[in-house]
Amino acid sequence: MLLILIAVATTGVYHLTQQADICYYKGHDLFVKSQYKASIPFFLRSLSYDPKQIQTLSELGYAYLWSGSPKEAIQVFQKLLPLESGSTRVKKSLAMAYSWNKEYVKAETILQEAIREDKNDRDAQRGLAEVYIWDHKFDEAKSLLTAFLKNNPGDVRARLLYGKALLYSGQTKEALQIFQELLKRSKEAAAENV
């Protein structure tokens, strides 16, 4: 009798696990096709079977974010954070969601913390500069990007952000020079790939 109960319980757990995987992969298939809003119900159903699936939570957070629901993305990334404690990836995702929700101070705080933890985290530094730009803190963005570009002079994304900070702070001529330089590099790279 005990063996029958164990077999039934094992079958039940296996069935639930399979349902979680099936729902995840249906949602993932839509997610990779940029059908973010359509993927959300599948991710939610998958999480109803197993609420601590890290990959499912991560993709659900981005699906919410990229379908225009940053508040929901924030909630998901907050649930994910303790499951991946110490993960700067999750912190940066949460900061992105805060910035998309125009909660710039929260985004800045998280990114500053990520930079303190890893001074070489280029994504966090560029992300912080971008949030500064969105928050109209152009001097902070320019200062951060000037220091960043001294160590990473070929970083195209950082140069573009620096150009934006210059443009939005009224330094149109300097911004135009950067944009023209980046455009020239882009054309040269495209010609090399032909």
pLDDT digits (tens, 9 = 90+) for 62-81: 999 999 999 999 999 999 99
**Residue 175 pLDDT more than 80?**
yes
- Under a CB-based contact definition with an 8 Å cutoff, are residues 162 and 178 in contact? yes
pLDDT at 178 over 90: yes
Of 116, 121, 57, nearest to 84 by C-alpha is 57
Write the CA distances from 12 to 7, 20, 49, 50, integer angstroms. Answer: 9, 12, 12, 13
Contact 173, 183 (CB under 8 A): no
Share of the chain above pLDDT 70, in %: 91
- pLDDT tier at 170, thresholds 50, 70, 90: very high
| Averaged pLDDT, 25-49 | 95
Q: Which of 181, 96, 97 is nearest to 130 (CA)?
A: 96
Count of CB atoms within 10 A of residue 42's CB? 23
Does 3.40.50.2300 match the CATH number of domain 12-85?
no
Q: What is the pLDDT of residue 18?
A: 85
pLDDT for the residue 8: 44
What's the pLDDT band for 20 if we cut at 50, 70, 90?
confident
Residue ranges covered by each domain of the chain: 12-85, 111-194
**Same fold flag, 12-85 and 111-194:** yes
| DSSP code, position 33 | T
pLDDT band at residue 173 using 50, 70 and 90 as cut-offs? very high
pTM above 0.85, yes or no: no
% residues pLDDT > 90 (the chain):
77
- Token duo for residue 142: 């320019």
* Residue 84 confidence class, pLDDT cut points 50, 70, 90: confident
Region 37-60: mean pLDDT is: 94
Number of CB atoms found within 10 A of residue 161's CB: 25
Q: What is the mean pLDDT of residues 115-128?
A: 94
> Distance between CA atoms of 10 and 14, rounded to whole angstroms?
6
Task: Kindly provide the b/e burial profile for residues 61-80, where b requires at least 16 CB atoms within 10 angstroms of the residue's own CB.
Answer: bbbbbbbebbebbbebbebb
Residues 6+ apart with CB under 8 A from 164: 133, 175
Domain topology for 111-194:
1.25.40
SS3 content of the chain, % helix, strand, coil (to 5): 80, 0, 20
Alpha carbons 17 and 173: distance in angstroms, whole number:
59
Query: Higher model confidence: residue 86 or residue 163?
Result: 163
Determine the Cα–Cα distance for residues 37 and 31; give it in Å rounded to an integer. Answer: 8
- Residue given tokens 């455009």 in the structure block: 183
pLDDT over 50 at 14, yes or no? no
pLDDT at 190: 78
Q: Measure the CA dihedral 64/124/139/69, to 10°.
A: 0
* pLDDT for residue 15: 47
Average pLDDT over residues 41-61: 94
